[in-house]
Amino acid sequence: MLTKFNELIFNKWKVNIHKSLTLPSLTMKLFKTHYMPKDTVYQLHGLVEKNIRLSYTGGAVDVYIPHNRKDNFFSQEFEQLFVYDVNSLYPSQMANFNMPVGKPIAFEGDIRKIDTNAYGFFYCKITSPDYLEHPILQRRIKL
């Protein structure tokens, strides 16, 4: 069966299925090889690509210990409790908001002097006020 599938794909698209580990990777290879217009997806390499990858972290997570006791935690009277769990907002954000796409342009200096609405990936030094007990800015801490 696998041999027949390999023959079908190779005869139609001249792609060896054994070079792809999964069906999604095979379909992406077929798409890029035969259907995707040239110079529509750009790839970054080197330090810039590494830094962009390092800048992404998992989503911020807030944990609350809910209780449904009336008035205070020690009360014996209870209220109805509603719980909402929101999972993976990334797909909806990607569908509804712009993503930086197109040919990358290297820029040095203050981009706001050229374009106040510039959109993309930028090296920035960001600080939060010292008085915040729990800063909102995420950070990676390697233990």
pLDDT value of residue 6: 94
CB 50 within 8 A of CB 80: no
pLDDT digits (tens, 9 = 90+) for 120-140: 888 888 777 888 877 666 666
**Tokens standing for residue 26:** 């095979």
pLDDT value of residue 61: 66
Rounded CA separation 96/142 (Å): 33
Residue 4 predicted with pLDDT over 90? yes
pLDDT value of residue 139: 66
Alpha-carbon 141 to chain mean position: 20
**Tokens standing for residue 82:** 């509603």
Based on the number of CB atoms within 10 Å of its own CB, is 15 exposed (0-12), middle (13-18) or buried (19 or more)?
middle
pLDDT value of residue 34: 93
pLDDT value of residue 108: 86
pLDDT value of residue 64: 67
pLDDT digits (tens, 9 = 90+) for 33-67: 999 888 777 788 899 889 888 887 766 666 666 77
pTM: 0.48
Average pLDDT, the chain: 82
